[in-house]
Amino acid sequence: MTLIHLDDDYLIWRSFDFQNYWRNEILSIQKKIFFSIKKTGTTIAGIIFKEGLILASDTRATNEEISCDLNCEKIHYLAPNICCCGAGTSADTESVTKSVSNHLELQRLSTGRESRVQSSVSIIQRMLFQFNGLISAALIIGGYDFLGAHIYSIHPHGSTENLPFIAMGSGSLASTAILEKFFNNNMDINSAKNIIKEAVLAGIYNDIGSGGNVDFCIIKKKTLEFERNEKKQNFKKTSGYFFHKKDSIRIRI
C-alpha cells in the first residue's frame, strides 16, 4: 500500500462529497426511480436515576407503511459503559454507531482509560454536522463514566443536548408527555424503570410508527444490563393453515 493511495483516500474523505445525494435527486426527477429507505419510526427514551441511567426503545422498523421488522434492536453498543439508542433511517443509525464504537475502542487502546460519554457525543456530532443533516440519525447516548451518569441527545444536523430525561423519534411527543409528568430527581431503579416503560408504551400505542416490544438498557457504575423484549405482546394462537404443495406449475395461455 503506497503512501499516495492513503493520502488520496484521506483527501476524498475530508471533502464534502454529496455525489450520491445528487444522483438520487436526478434519478427521482428524470427516471422516476425512488429509493424507499427503511426507517425506524420510533420511540426511544432515556432517564437518569439515583444510581445510573436507563435507556429504552420500541422494536418496530417500518418501510414507509409496512412494518418490515417487528423485533429489531434499536439499542446499540458503543463502549462497555456507553450505549446508544437510534431513531431515523436504520442504515444511518447502524453505520454511525458502528463507526463510533470502533473509534472509541481504538481510543481506549491508545489512552488506556475508559471511554467518556462526552467524547462519543463529540465524535458523532462532528460527523453529522459535516454531512449537513443528510445522515438522518437521531440518537440518544447514555453512559456512566468517571464523571457520573449522562444522557445526551443528538439531532440529525448535529445539535446536542444534555438532559436528565430525553425522548426522540416519531413517538417522542407521547413519551415526553409521560416523562414530564412523572419524572423526579433521585428516583430508585424500580420507579425509574416503570416510568420509562410507560413512556415507551405511550409511544407504542399512540404512534403508529412505533410498536412491538420494549427493550431496556440499564447502566450503573460498574454494570451494563441489556434487557431485551421486557414486555411481550400477546400473540393470538391459531390452529394453523395447510398450504397445499404445488407439484407442477400450470400456465393458462
19 makes contact with other proteins (CB under 8 A):
yes
List, in order, residues 6 or more apart from 136 with CB less than 8 Å away. Answer: 39, 88, 89, 92, 156
Among 192, 204, 217, 219, binds other proteins (CB under 8 A): 204
The site that binds other proteins (CB under 8 A) totals a number of residues, namely 45
- Read off the C-alpha cell for 213: 416490544
Dist. CA 189–CA 179, nearest whole Å: 15
Per-position x/- string for 62-91, each x denoting binding to other proteins as judged by CB under 8 A, each - no binding: x--xxx--x---------------------
Name which of 13 and 146 has its Cβ closer to other proteins: 13
Find, among 69, 58, 72, the residue nearest to 200 by Cα.
58
To 5 degrees, how large is the angle CA 25–CA 90–CA 134?
35
32 makes contact with other proteins (CB under 8 A):
no
Asked if 238 is an active-site residue, the reply is no
Per-position x/- string for 223-252, each x denoting binding to other proteins as judged by CB under 8 A, each - no binding: ----------xx-x-xx-x-xxxxxx----
Name which of 62 and 153 has its Cβ closer to other proteins: 62
Whether 133 and 156 have beta carbons less than 8 Å apart is answered as: yes
Ramachandran assignment for 43, one of left (phi > 0), alpha (psi -120 to 50 degrees), beta (any other): beta
Q: b/e map of 89-118 (b: 16 or more CB within 10 Å)?
A: bbebbbebbeebbebbeebeeeeeeebbbb
Q: What are the C-alpha distances in Å from 100 to residues 41, 63, 68, 88, 207? A: 23, 26, 26, 17, 30
Name which of 33 and 147 has its Cβ closer to other proteins: 33
3 makes contact with other proteins (CB under 8 A):
no
15 makes contact with other proteins (CB under 8 A):
yes
Among 208, 220, 226, 229, binds other proteins (CB under 8 A): 208
Catalytic residue among 42, 62, 93, 97: 42
Q: Which residues are catalytic?
A: 42
Residue ranges in contact with other proteins by CB under 8 A: 5, 8-9, 11-12, 15-19, 22-23, 26, 29-31, 41, 60, 62, 65-67, 70, 170, 204-212, 233-234, 236, 238-239, 241, 243-248
